[in-house]
Chain A
Amino acid sequence: MADAPERAPTNRTPPLPDEAAVIARAADGDRTAFAQLMEHYQSACYGLAWRLLGDADRAADATQDAFVHAYRAIASYRGGVFRSWLLRITANASYDILRRQQRRPSSPLPDPDEGAPELPDPSALNPFAEASKSELYRHLERALRMLPADQRTAVVLCDVYGMDYNEVAAMTDSALGTVKSRIHRGRLRLRELLAEHRELFTA
């Protein structure tokens, strides 16, 4: 109930051809196999952390933390989509950092305007990005950074990474209704922010 619909993004890192076998070796303690998995999915993990935290250094730290957690947990991995499993771990690691950051009033969330130069060029950084959509992606990333942290977290987890409301609620220690409200308000705010570029995402 109330699950966000499943979508299959086309420009994200695809699974490894022999992923199940590599996962099995990694679960048996093969460090090379584990490294192969992390290398393959590091862009997926880093992208999620960067969108949640809005800062390159903290995103790299969160991704690194996620790899450590994954290394400890992979022996108990019980199937499912490996990418989703790893992204959940990354989201938790990122959210831990976000929570610590928000507990300290002296370190506010990054200013979207100041952070603008950090916006990556997806077509330059990722082979899966379509060059023709680069402009749309840039505007979307910038608009996401201008959302309040709680709305950005909810929208990124739900709309960008396809997690359902219950997962987002559990991850952020929030009530289901609160999560829904944050997502809806975040979407409406994004629409306002992107009003000038409406033709880009409705084309």
Chain B
Amino acid sequence: MLNANHPDDERLSALAGGDPDEGADAGLTAHVASCDRCAELVSDLGALRMSLGDLPDVAPPRPLRLVPPVPDASAPEDGIGTWMRRLFAPALTAGAALAMVGLVGTASPGTLPTSLDEVGFGGGDAGVMHEADEAAPGDQRLTDTDEPGAVQGEAAGERDGAAGYGAAAGDDEAPAAEPLSGGRDSDTSEDDYAVPESRVGTTSLPAERSPWPMVLFTGVAVIVGALLLRWILVPRAG
């Protein structure tokens, strides 16, 4: 504390601490020698410093690890843990990708090939479709020779609404195809066959239902499996 009659206390502390700058100040040392208050302060601070410097060491309350541990790379669980750590990110990415594709496929059936239902042949099997496909050219040959039909619109409607009937009904439906092919150009006739033909690849799959829910399920399973394995196999800190 600065006092009009005494030097600043911090200077006196410096003097008590053996600071050579303050010790070399003759005015300061002369004042301390003649002032009881400042002499006592310097004496107290000097004694305080000695006591502080005498404080003993303190034993830790619990045992400390004296040497840092060396990682043991040969430990078998550590090896598995390392492999798991390496595989975790790729597995998670693959699972997420599968789940995403599966989700899109499931949620937007119109954008991806689906089942026979879409082609109006809910319960049919591949054999029937092939049969229908083979029957179609026969129909065409027939229509080429028969008279022009009058129910073109009806046939077109049938083509659009249940396009894939193909020759599902086989010979039963053949008469309906006659006026169609007779009244339209050859492109239309090709379209007629193109539709079921394009479905063959899809509908000839053994599975009748859309595969996308299964893809979604597999992706989620991969993610959950990776997380579980990591939790079980990778050693945790601490």
Which A residues are closer than 8 A to B by beta carbons? 1-2, 4-5, 7, 9-13, 31, 34-35, 38-39, 42-44, 46-47, 50-51, 56, 59-60, 63-64, 67-68, 71, 120, 122, 125-126, 128-129, 133, 136-137, 140-141, 144, 155, 158-160, 162, 180-181, 183-185, 187-188, 190-191, 194, 198, 200-202
Contact = CB atoms under 8 A, between A and B. Distances in A.
A125 B58 contact: yes
Interface string B63-80: 011111000000000000
A162 B53 contact: yes
B18 A34 contact: no
Contacts of B51: 136, 140, 200-201
Contacts of B20: 1-2
B55 A63 contact: no
Interface of B: 9-10, 13-14, 16-21, 41, 43-45, 47-62, 64-68
A47 B68 CA distance: 20
A56 B54 CA distance: 21
A133 B54 CA distance: 10
Contacts of B13: 183-184, 187-188
A69 to B, nearest CB: 10
A6 to B, nearest CB: 10
A202 B44 contact: yes
B4 to A, nearest CB: 18
Contacts of A137: 55-56
Q: Chain A interface mostly helix, strand, loop or mixed?
A: helix
24 contacts: A13-B57, A31-B67, A35-B66, A38-B64, A38-B67, A42-B59, A43-B59, A46-B59, A46-B64, A59-B60, A67-B64, A122-B55, A122-B56, A136-B51, A159-B17, A159-B53, A180-B10, A183-B17, A185-B10, A187-B16, A187-B49, A188-B13, A191-B44, A191-B48
B66 A39 contact: yes
Nearest to A31: B67
Q: Which 4 A-B pairs have the closest CB atoms?
A: A47-B58, A184-B13, A43-B57, A184-B10
Contact of B57 (A39, A44, A67, A144): A44
Nearest to A71: B68
A159 to B, nearest CB: 4
